[in-house]
Every structure is written in C-alpha cells, then in structure tokens.
Structure 1
Amino acid sequence: MERMKELLLSPEEIYYIGKVSGGKYLDYDYIAAMKDIGKRGKIKQQEILDSLERKGYAQEDFLGNLEVEPACIEILKPLYQGMYESELILREEAGESVHYKFHHMENRITSVECRSQEYRIRVQDKEGVERMLSPLLENNVQTEKKEAYIATDQAERSIILKGTHIGKDTCLYFYAEKGGYFYEMDSEQAEEKILRLVEKNVVCEQVKKILTGD
C-alpha cells in the first residue's frame, strides 16, 4: 500500500476515517452528503471497515481486528488537517456538472472529485491541478459573436470558485460562459443578474490561483 495514490470512498467512509485517525476538521459538505445525517452517530463501524477491506483500504492487525491502512490515512490527512481548501464547480446548462475540492496541507494537495456517493480522491501537486484544469477551461471554442454583457440566464455554463482559509476568510467567485466567451459579475451594475465580458486568460489565472493556493 506504500504506492497508494488514489482512493474511491463514500462520504460515510471519509467521515469514519477522519474520526478514527484523530482528524481536526472536516468540510461539512462531506457530512451533509451522508445518506442519513441524523443517524451518523449510529453508523455501524464494522460495516464501514468491511467495505474498506473489500476495497483494499483496511487490513487485520495481529489480533484479527480490522484497521484502516496507514497509506490510506496518509492520503486523506489534508482533508482533516489542512488549513486551506479550494473548490471548483462547473455547471452546464443541460444539467451536467463537475465538482472538485482541493485540500492543502503544507506542500501537499489532495484532490477530491465529488460524485454521487463515491468520491475519487487523489494525491496531487500544483502542476497536476493545472493540467487537470486545462481541458475544463481552456479548450473552449468561440462559436458566437462577442457580447459586452449578458444576463445570468443566458449562460451556457456557470463556474463557481471558492477558496477558504480554515477558521479565517473565504473568497467566492462566479463566472459564466456563453459562446466560448467568459463573463463576470459587474459591481457597477445595479442589476446583479447582468454579467460583463472578461478575458479568458483572466478567468483561467484566477481559477489556478485560488485552486492551487498561490
């Protein structure tokens, strides 16, 4: 398990591993995603351990008790002890979405691809985050005439960007895309639903800055 670099975990498993490993903090989104938040205190430990064993993330100790693999806990440490986390949500007009979280601890990054009841968790670095973002943001094709302003309901895709220093401040950005062009909130507009044109490179640099923690 020393070379473990990727995990597939449910919200319940993430919560349990944080609990048994002495985690200091856990993003509430993971707790809210549990199937029954009202009964999270009654989650059966053995069921979770059995699931982790089937996935190769738990093993028996000398007494025959199942324990979470140290390599698994090591990957997840930034989720429980990191002091900065960032988030990217891309929502298509058709309803499809991409949702990533990035947990930072010292010089380490753990990325989480949030999917329905199964999260793909990977060891990352800043260069890896930038490579991952490239096809999501930079390969767009400009198919329509450039407009100086659009209404939010004209957007073909929305981009929500968030960065949080745990226990301190949070920054939140919203961008929209239409016809291959990007738009942002305009503080000079009295109407909050009006977005103004912004250069693509400005959006891409802001996304990279927030997600990598620079």
Structure 2
Amino acid sequence: MTRSPARSPRLLLIATMVLVVAGGILLTVPQTPRAPAISAPRAPGPTTHPTATAESSRAAQAGAPAQATASAASPQSASASALPPHGEGVAGDAAIQKSLEDAWPADLAAADEHTLLAAGRGLLRADATGVDRAEWPALFGDPDQAIAPAFSTARFRIQAAIARRNGSPNQAVVHLVWAGTDRGGTYTDRRITDWYFAHTSTKGASAWTPLPRT
C-alpha cells in the first residue's frame, strides 16, 4: 500500500508568511469612514384648499370672456336687444324710435331735421301706397301712368324715422322703419327704407332735394 507524501513544512511556512504580510498591509491602510447619506429636508408645500383652487380656476377661465362680454355690452347692443317682437303693433313703435336715436345720435339742425323727416315720410307713403305722388313728379313721373302701388293704405304705418347727415353737411338720409300689407294680403312690420337728400341753394333760398332711388 502506497502512502501519500507528507506536505512539506516549507510550503506551510511560506503560506503562513504570505497571510501575515497581507494582513499587515490591510491593517496599515487607513479606512475612510463613509458618511451616512442625508437627504435634504423637503420644503413644506403650500396648503391646498380644494374649494378655493376650484374657484380660482373657474375665475381664471372666465376672466377673458367676462371682459369681452362687458366691452360688447354697448348702448347700441342694449338698444337692439330692447326692440319689441314682430307684430307688437303701435305699442312697440316708441321702442323702435328710441333704438334708432340711441344708435345714431342727432347731427343736424333742428329745422333741417324737421324738414327732412316730413319729406321722407311723404316720399315713403307716396312710393308705397301711391298717395300724393303728384307732389314729386321728378321722382314718380305722371301719376296717371305710374306703377300701381304695392301696399294698401289701410294698414300702412311708419313706425319710426330719423334724419341724419350722410357723409357731409350737404348730404342727408332719412331712415324709416314701417309696416304695411301688400297686394297679396301679407302684413309685415319693421320694414326699412332710406331716402337720400342733397342740400341745394337757388337765388338765396336753400332746400333739401330728394334724390332719385336707384
């Protein structure tokens, strides 16, 4: 039976010395202690009130439209919204007159405005119903050969009228709102007609002359 050779004492001695040297080296190297990681303290956040936040958000969203609505609420739009409904009758005429005056402030002398309104009303009546067309032969021609009127006098009514300058002191327009029944029997109110005038002077006399409708 063959016996395994005994380990050499020399090898054991070398191994022991290597371990001793390695341990000494490790003991001589300074160990830097690692500082524990410290997280920065979190700043306290603002206290949130759900109700207040919701109200602020709604106010921010509604800010621009609210301003636009306020700026759009002009006297003219307010007057337009106050117009009576169609078919209101004579009771609604005053509101229509006021809306015209609010939307288009007066800019003529009182005497000129009075003259123009009277002429504009007469011209509209003559044109729509045929009444007194002979007073304006330059506009309506021979009354006996004139076109038959489109509206009857029974339910013809001028609801409102204003006279204003039309670009210059020598030009004017009469703006009329009216109602009437046509030859077919259909009644319609809040019709709109404009008559234009030019201021003329002849031998020291001045007058407002109606212009032909084109």
TM category (shorter chain) comes to under 0.3
- Decide which structure has greater strand share: 1
**TM score, norm. by length of structure 1:** 0.23
Structure with higher Rg: it is 2
- Decide which structure has greater helix share: 2
Structure of higher RCO (CA pairs closer than 8 Å, 6+ residues apart): 1
